[in-house]
Amino acid sequence: MKRALFIIIFLACSLGIFAQAPKYSNEFLAIGVGARSLGMSNAQAGISADVTSAYWNPAGLANQSSDIQIGLMHNEYFAGIAKYDYAGFSMKLDTVATVGFSVIRMGVDDIPNTINLYDNQGNINYNRITKFSVADYAIMFSYARKSKIKGLSYGGNVKIIYRQLGNFAQAYGFGLDLGVQYQTGKWQFGVMGRDITSTFNAWTFDVSENMKDVFEATGNEIPENSLEVTLPRLILGGGRQINISDNFSSLLALDLEMTFDGKRNTLIKSNFVSVDPRLGVEFGFKNIVFVRGGVGNIQQETDFGDKKTTTLQPNFGVGVKIKKMISIDYALTNIGDSYFYSNVFSLRVDLNRK
Protein backbone atom coordinates (compact mmCIF):
# COMPACT_ATOMS: atom_id res chain seq x y z
CA MET A 1 0.00 0.00 0.00
CA LYS A 2 2.88 2.36 0.84
CA ARG A 3 4.38 1.79 -2.62
CA ALA A 4 1.06 2.59 -4.33
CA LEU A 5 0.65 5.78 -2.28
CA PHE A 6 4.22 6.79 -3.11
CA ILE A 7 3.52 6.38 -6.83
CA ILE A 8 0.35 8.52 -6.67
CA ILE A 9 2.08 11.26 -4.64
CA PHE A 10 5.07 11.22 -7.00
CA LEU A 11 2.76 11.65 -10.00
CA ALA A 12 1.04 14.65 -8.45
CA CYS A 13 4.35 16.32 -7.53
CA SER A 14 5.80 15.78 -11.00
CA LEU A 15 2.74 17.30 -12.65
CA GLY A 16 2.92 20.37 -10.46
CA ILE A 17 6.61 20.95 -11.07
CA PHE A 18 6.39 20.85 -14.88
CA ALA A 19 2.96 22.43 -15.37
CA GLN A 20 4.50 25.69 -16.56
CA ALA A 21 6.79 24.23 -19.24
CA PRO A 22 5.83 25.80 -22.59
CA LYS A 23 6.77 23.01 -25.01
CA TYR A 24 5.67 19.42 -25.61
CA SER A 25 6.37 16.79 -28.24
CA ASN A 26 6.21 13.06 -29.05
CA GLU A 27 2.53 13.21 -30.00
CA PHE A 28 2.92 9.94 -31.90
CA LEU A 29 2.86 8.27 -28.49
CA ALA A 30 -0.64 9.64 -27.85
CA ILE A 31 -2.27 7.58 -30.63
CA GLY A 32 -2.55 4.24 -28.83
CA VAL A 33 -1.87 0.57 -29.55
CA GLY A 34 -4.11 -2.45 -30.09
CA ALA A 35 -7.27 -2.62 -32.20
CA ARG A 36 -9.34 -3.56 -29.14
CA SER A 37 -8.25 -0.37 -27.38
CA LEU A 38 -8.73 1.87 -30.41
CA GLY A 39 -12.19 0.42 -31.03
CA MET A 40 -13.11 1.46 -27.47
CA SER A 41 -11.81 5.03 -28.01
CA ASN A 42 -8.68 4.39 -25.90
CA ALA A 43 -10.58 3.96 -22.61
CA GLN A 44 -8.04 1.51 -21.14
CA ALA A 45 -6.22 2.89 -18.08
CA GLY A 46 -8.40 1.00 -15.62
CA ILE A 47 -9.25 -2.17 -17.56
CA SER A 48 -6.17 -3.06 -19.64
CA ALA A 49 -4.74 -6.42 -18.57
CA ASP A 50 -2.65 -7.81 -21.44
CA VAL A 51 0.58 -7.14 -23.34
CA THR A 52 -0.69 -3.72 -24.50
CA SER A 53 -0.85 -2.61 -20.87
CA ALA A 54 2.80 -1.64 -21.21
CA TYR A 55 1.44 1.33 -23.15
CA TRP A 56 -1.94 1.97 -21.47
CA ASN A 57 -1.02 1.28 -17.84
CA PRO A 58 1.99 -0.92 -17.02
CA ALA A 59 0.30 -2.06 -13.81
CA GLY A 60 -2.08 -4.11 -15.97
CA LEU A 61 0.73 -6.41 -17.06
CA ALA A 62 0.56 -8.06 -13.64
CA ASN A 63 -3.02 -9.13 -14.42
CA GLN A 64 -2.49 -10.74 -17.83
CA SER A 65 -4.23 -14.10 -18.18
CA SER A 66 -1.37 -16.15 -19.68
CA ASP A 67 2.30 -16.68 -18.90
CA ILE A 68 3.57 -15.16 -22.16
CA GLN A 69 1.86 -12.77 -24.57
CA ILE A 70 2.92 -11.42 -27.95
CA GLY A 71 1.13 -8.47 -29.55
CA LEU A 72 1.36 -7.03 -33.07
CA MET A 73 -0.44 -4.16 -34.79
CA HIS A 74 -0.30 -2.42 -38.16
CA ASN A 75 -2.12 0.77 -39.08
CA GLU A 76 -1.99 3.35 -41.85
CA TYR A 77 -3.14 6.96 -41.69
CA PHE A 78 -3.85 9.68 -44.25
CA ALA A 79 -4.74 7.27 -47.07
CA GLY A 80 -1.65 5.13 -46.43
CA ILE A 81 0.90 7.94 -46.34
CA ALA A 82 1.85 7.40 -42.69
CA LYS A 83 2.41 3.91 -41.28
CA TYR A 84 2.07 3.08 -37.60
CA ASP A 85 3.34 -0.23 -36.21
CA TYR A 86 3.57 -1.83 -32.79
CA ALA A 87 5.10 -5.02 -31.39
CA GLY A 88 5.03 -6.13 -27.76
CA PHE A 89 6.18 -9.01 -25.60
CA SER A 90 5.34 -9.70 -21.95
CA MET A 91 6.18 -12.59 -19.63
CA LYS A 92 5.34 -13.52 -16.05
CA LEU A 93 8.43 -14.01 -13.92
CA ASP A 94 6.42 -15.64 -11.14
CA THR A 95 2.94 -15.35 -9.62
CA VAL A 96 3.33 -11.64 -8.80
CA ALA A 97 5.85 -10.05 -11.24
CA THR A 98 5.67 -9.49 -15.01
CA VAL A 99 8.09 -7.86 -17.44
CA GLY A 100 7.44 -6.44 -20.91
CA PHE A 101 9.19 -5.07 -23.98
CA SER A 102 7.49 -2.91 -26.63
CA VAL A 103 8.46 -1.13 -29.84
CA ILE A 104 6.42 1.56 -31.61
CA ARG A 105 7.20 3.14 -34.98
CA MET A 106 5.35 5.83 -36.90
CA GLY A 107 6.87 6.98 -40.17
CA VAL A 108 6.48 8.38 -43.64
CA ASP A 109 8.78 6.71 -46.16
CA ASP A 110 10.05 7.49 -49.68
CA ILE A 111 9.80 11.28 -49.38
CA PRO A 112 11.41 13.02 -52.42
CA ASN A 113 14.37 15.22 -51.53
CA THR A 114 14.46 18.04 -54.09
CA ILE A 115 17.05 20.26 -52.36
CA ASN A 116 19.63 19.35 -55.00
CA LEU A 117 17.16 19.44 -57.92
CA TYR A 118 19.10 22.28 -59.57
CA ASP A 119 22.73 21.80 -60.55
CA ASN A 120 25.47 24.45 -60.37
CA GLN A 121 24.36 25.92 -63.71
CA GLY A 122 20.78 26.35 -62.55
CA ASN A 123 19.45 23.49 -64.69
CA ILE A 124 16.86 21.00 -63.42
CA ASN A 125 18.28 17.52 -63.12
CA TYR A 126 15.78 14.92 -61.90
CA ASN A 127 18.55 12.43 -61.37
CA ARG A 128 19.61 14.51 -58.39
CA ILE A 129 16.36 13.71 -56.55
CA THR A 130 16.81 11.25 -53.69
CA LYS A 131 14.38 9.82 -51.13
CA PHE A 132 14.37 9.77 -47.34
CA SER A 133 12.16 8.73 -44.41
CA VAL A 134 10.80 10.60 -41.41
CA ALA A 135 10.16 8.23 -38.52
CA ASP A 136 9.56 8.23 -34.76
CA TYR A 137 10.54 5.24 -32.62
CA ALA A 138 9.78 4.38 -29.01
CA ILE A 139 11.21 1.43 -27.06
CA MET A 140 9.65 0.60 -23.69
CA PHE A 141 10.94 -1.69 -20.94
CA SER A 142 8.17 -2.48 -18.46
CA TYR A 143 7.86 -4.05 -15.04
CA ALA A 144 4.66 -4.77 -13.09
CA ARG A 145 3.96 -6.37 -9.77
CA LYS A 146 0.96 -7.43 -7.71
CA SER A 147 0.75 -5.87 -4.28
CA LYS A 148 0.14 -7.80 -1.08
CA ILE A 149 -3.18 -5.97 -1.00
CA LYS A 150 -5.73 -8.03 -2.90
CA GLY A 151 -6.62 -6.47 -6.26
CA LEU A 152 -3.85 -3.83 -6.22
CA SER A 153 -1.01 -3.82 -8.77
CA TYR A 154 1.58 -1.28 -9.83
CA GLY A 155 4.11 -0.91 -12.64
CA GLY A 156 6.35 1.36 -14.63
CA ASN A 157 8.02 1.95 -18.00
CA VAL A 158 11.41 3.17 -19.04
CA LYS A 159 11.10 4.77 -22.50
CA ILE A 160 13.78 5.47 -25.05
CA ILE A 161 12.77 7.77 -27.92
CA TYR A 162 14.50 8.07 -31.28
CA ARG A 163 13.26 10.49 -33.95
CA GLN A 164 14.80 10.74 -37.41
CA LEU A 165 14.38 13.16 -40.31
CA GLY A 166 16.40 11.46 -43.03
CA ASN A 167 20.06 12.39 -42.75
CA PHE A 168 19.18 15.97 -41.81
CA ALA A 169 18.24 15.65 -38.14
CA GLN A 170 17.81 13.21 -35.31
CA ALA A 171 16.75 13.29 -31.67
CA TYR A 172 17.17 11.05 -28.65
CA GLY A 173 14.86 11.12 -25.65
CA PHE A 174 14.27 9.39 -22.34
CA GLY A 175 11.20 9.19 -20.13
CA LEU A 176 9.35 7.33 -17.38
CA ASP A 177 5.74 6.17 -16.90
CA LEU A 178 4.12 4.92 -13.69
CA GLY A 179 0.74 3.30 -13.16
CA VAL A 180 -1.52 1.73 -10.55
CA GLN A 181 -4.57 -0.53 -10.95
CA TYR A 182 -7.10 -1.73 -8.40
CA GLN A 183 -9.83 -4.34 -8.87
CA THR A 184 -12.65 -5.01 -6.46
CA GLY A 185 -15.52 -7.25 -7.47
CA LYS A 186 -16.72 -6.23 -10.92
CA TRP A 187 -15.16 -2.76 -10.64
CA GLN A 188 -11.74 -1.82 -12.06
CA PHE A 189 -9.82 1.43 -11.50
CA GLY A 190 -6.52 2.78 -12.76
CA VAL A 191 -4.18 5.78 -12.58
CA MET A 192 -1.54 6.28 -15.25
CA GLY A 193 1.15 8.96 -15.18
CA ARG A 194 2.78 9.32 -18.59
CA ASP A 195 6.13 11.12 -18.90
CA ILE A 196 6.03 11.77 -15.15
CA THR A 197 9.39 13.54 -15.05
CA SER A 198 8.81 15.05 -18.50
CA THR A 199 10.54 13.46 -21.49
CA PHE A 200 13.36 15.45 -23.05
CA ASN A 201 14.32 15.08 -26.72
CA ALA A 202 17.73 16.43 -27.70
CA TRP A 203 17.74 17.41 -31.40
CA THR A 204 20.87 17.63 -33.54
CA PHE A 205 20.91 18.88 -37.13
CA ASP A 206 23.32 18.12 -39.95
CA VAL A 207 22.96 20.92 -42.49
CA SER A 208 25.42 20.94 -45.38
CA GLU A 209 26.70 24.11 -46.98
CA ASN A 210 24.55 23.43 -50.03
CA MET A 211 21.46 23.11 -47.84
CA LYS A 212 22.31 26.35 -46.06
CA ASP A 213 22.42 28.14 -49.41
CA VAL A 214 19.02 26.70 -50.34
CA PHE A 215 17.53 27.69 -46.95
CA GLU A 216 18.83 31.25 -47.29
CA ALA A 217 17.65 31.56 -50.90
CA THR A 218 14.14 30.39 -49.97
CA GLY A 219 13.89 32.54 -46.83
CA ASN A 220 13.92 29.62 -44.39
CA GLU A 221 15.70 29.67 -41.06
CA ILE A 222 18.69 27.38 -40.64
CA PRO A 223 17.77 24.92 -37.84
CA GLU A 224 19.87 24.78 -34.71
CA ASN A 225 20.36 22.08 -32.09
CA SER A 226 17.57 22.29 -29.53
CA LEU A 227 15.71 20.54 -26.72
CA GLU A 228 12.05 19.50 -26.78
CA VAL A 229 10.02 18.73 -23.68
CA THR A 230 7.08 16.34 -23.41
CA LEU A 231 5.00 17.33 -20.40
CA PRO A 232 3.39 14.84 -18.01
CA ARG A 233 -0.15 13.53 -18.55
CA LEU A 234 -2.36 12.04 -15.87
CA ILE A 235 -5.02 9.50 -16.88
CA LEU A 236 -7.76 8.34 -14.52
CA GLY A 237 -9.66 5.25 -15.63
CA GLY A 238 -12.49 3.08 -14.44
CA GLY A 239 -14.56 0.18 -15.70
CA ARG A 240 -17.25 -2.29 -14.71
CA GLN A 241 -18.08 -5.78 -15.87
CA ILE A 242 -21.78 -6.43 -16.46
CA ASN A 243 -22.86 -10.03 -17.01
CA ILE A 244 -25.97 -10.03 -19.18
CA SER A 245 -26.40 -13.82 -19.14
CA ASP A 246 -24.32 -17.00 -19.06
CA ASN A 247 -23.29 -16.45 -22.68
CA PHE A 248 -23.34 -12.65 -23.02
CA SER A 249 -21.18 -10.18 -21.14
CA SER A 250 -20.39 -6.48 -21.35
CA LEU A 251 -17.70 -4.10 -20.16
CA LEU A 252 -18.09 -0.34 -19.76
CA ALA A 253 -14.98 1.86 -19.42
CA LEU A 254 -14.31 5.57 -18.92
CA ASP A 255 -10.97 7.42 -19.04
CA LEU A 256 -10.21 11.04 -18.16
CA GLU A 257 -6.94 12.22 -19.72
CA MET A 258 -5.54 15.37 -18.14
CA THR A 259 -2.91 17.53 -19.83
CA PHE A 260 -1.05 20.43 -18.23
CA ASP A 261 0.40 22.35 -21.21
CA GLY A 262 -2.21 25.13 -21.34
CA LYS A 263 -5.78 25.27 -22.55
CA ARG A 264 -6.66 22.65 -25.19
CA ASN A 265 -9.80 22.20 -27.23
CA THR A 266 -11.26 19.50 -24.96
CA LEU A 267 -14.61 19.05 -23.24
CA ILE A 268 -13.25 20.44 -19.96
CA LYS A 269 -10.51 23.06 -20.27
CA SER A 270 -8.68 25.71 -18.28
CA ASN A 271 -5.31 27.38 -18.30
CA PHE A 272 -4.00 24.87 -15.76
CA VAL A 273 -5.55 21.57 -16.86
CA SER A 274 -7.54 20.26 -19.82
CA VAL A 275 -9.59 17.07 -19.46
CA ASP A 276 -10.40 14.82 -22.41
CA PRO A 277 -12.99 12.12 -21.54
CA ARG A 278 -13.17 8.83 -23.45
CA LEU A 279 -15.97 6.29 -23.18
CA GLY A 280 -15.78 2.71 -24.46
CA VAL A 281 -17.98 -0.39 -24.34
CA GLU A 282 -17.40 -4.04 -25.23
CA PHE A 283 -19.97 -6.82 -25.68
CA GLY A 284 -18.84 -10.44 -25.65
CA PHE A 285 -20.41 -13.77 -26.59
CA LYS A 286 -19.00 -16.80 -24.77
CA ASN A 287 -15.70 -14.92 -24.50
CA ILE A 288 -15.12 -15.76 -28.17
CA VAL A 289 -16.71 -13.00 -30.27
CA PHE A 290 -16.62 -9.32 -29.31
CA VAL A 291 -18.23 -6.12 -30.58
CA ARG A 292 -16.85 -2.78 -29.42
CA GLY A 293 -17.57 0.92 -29.68
CA GLY A 294 -16.63 4.21 -28.15
CA VAL A 295 -16.60 7.99 -28.37
CA GLY A 296 -13.77 10.42 -27.73
CA ASN A 297 -12.00 13.55 -28.99
CA ILE A 298 -14.94 15.73 -27.89
CA GLN A 299 -14.31 19.27 -29.12
CA GLN A 300 -16.09 22.56 -29.67
CA GLU A 301 -15.79 23.95 -33.20
CA THR A 302 -16.71 27.37 -34.59
CA ASP A 303 -17.95 27.77 -38.17
CA PHE A 304 -17.66 30.83 -40.43
CA GLY A 305 -20.82 32.29 -38.88
CA ASP A 306 -19.30 32.11 -35.37
CA LYS A 307 -21.74 29.35 -34.52
CA LYS A 308 -20.27 26.88 -32.03
CA THR A 309 -21.01 23.16 -32.23
CA THR A 310 -19.79 20.21 -30.22
CA THR A 311 -18.23 17.37 -32.20
CA LEU A 312 -17.02 13.92 -31.19
CA GLN A 313 -15.20 11.01 -32.78
CA PRO A 314 -16.97 7.63 -32.85
CA ASN A 315 -14.98 4.40 -33.08
CA PHE A 316 -15.98 0.82 -33.81
CA GLY A 317 -14.34 -2.57 -33.49
CA VAL A 318 -14.80 -6.33 -33.50
CA GLY A 319 -12.70 -9.22 -32.27
CA VAL A 320 -12.52 -13.00 -32.18
CA LYS A 321 -10.62 -15.35 -29.89
CA ILE A 322 -9.51 -18.72 -31.31
CA LYS A 323 -8.97 -21.62 -28.87
CA LYS A 324 -8.11 -19.18 -26.06
CA MET A 325 -4.72 -18.74 -27.70
CA ILE A 326 -5.04 -16.32 -30.62
CA SER A 327 -6.97 -13.04 -30.53
CA ILE A 328 -7.59 -11.14 -33.78
CA ASP A 329 -9.03 -7.64 -33.47
CA TYR A 330 -10.15 -4.97 -35.90
CA ALA A 331 -11.01 -1.29 -35.39
CA LEU A 332 -12.26 1.54 -37.58
CA THR A 333 -10.80 4.77 -36.26
CA ASN A 334 -8.56 7.79 -36.96
CA ILE A 335 -6.18 10.00 -35.01
CA GLY A 336 -8.45 13.02 -34.51
CA ASP A 337 -9.12 15.73 -37.04
CA SER A 338 -8.42 13.63 -40.10
CA TYR A 339 -11.25 12.80 -42.48
CA PHE A 340 -9.52 9.55 -43.43
CA TYR A 341 -10.68 6.71 -41.20
CA SER A 342 -8.20 3.86 -40.88
CA ASN A 343 -8.57 0.09 -40.73
CA VAL A 344 -6.57 -1.18 -37.77
CA PHE A 345 -5.67 -4.85 -37.34
CA SER A 346 -3.94 -6.39 -34.36
CA LEU A 347 -2.96 -9.87 -33.24
CA ARG A 348 -2.33 -11.29 -29.78
CA VAL A 349 -0.89 -14.72 -29.00
CA ASP A 350 -1.24 -16.25 -25.51
CA LEU A 351 1.20 -18.95 -24.43
CA ASN A 352 1.43 -20.91 -21.18
CA ARG A 353 4.31 -22.86 -19.77
CA LYS A 354 3.76 -26.57 -19.37
Instruction: Choose among 63, 32, 44: nearest CA to 154.
Output: 63
Label residue 2 by pLDDT band (50, 70, 90). Answer: very low
**In sequence order, what are the residues at sequence separation of 6 or more whose Cβ sits closer than 8 angstroms to the Cβ of residue 298?**
266, 267, 276, 277, 310, 311, 312, 313
For 233-250, what is the mean pLDDT? 93
Asked whether residue 151 carries a pLDDT value surpassing 90, the answer given is yes
For the chain, domain boundaries? 2-351
Q: Which residue has the higher pLDDT, 343 or 21?
A: 343
Would you state the pLDDT for residue 12?
43
CATH superfamily of 2-351: monomeric porin ompg (2.40.160.40)
Mean pLDDT for all residues in the chain: 85
Label residue 338 by pLDDT band (50, 70, 90). Answer: low
Q: Which residue has the higher pLDDT, 328 or 354?
A: 328
For 184-207, what is the mean pLDDT? 89
Scanning 26-116, the segments in alpha helix (DSSP H) are 35-39, 53-56
Asked whether residue 59 carries a pLDDT value surpassing 90, the answer given is yes
Separation CA 191–CA 179 (nearest Å): 6
Asked whether residue 337 carries a pLDDT value surpassing 90, the answer given is no
In one letter, which amino acid is 190?
A: G
**In sequence order, what are the residues at sequence separation of 6 or more whose Cβ sits closer than 8 angstroms to the Cβ of residue 92?**
64, 67, 68, 98
In one letter, which amino acid is 229?
A: V
Asked whether residue 98 carries a pLDDT value surpassing 80, the answer given is yes
- pLDDT tens across 307-334, in order? 888 888 899 999 999 988 999 999 998 7
Strand residues in the chain grouped as ranges (E): 68-77, 82-92, 97-113, 130-146, 152-165, 169-184, 187-194, 199-205, 226-230, 233-243, 248-259, 268-269, 274-285, 289-302, 308-322, 326-333, 342-351
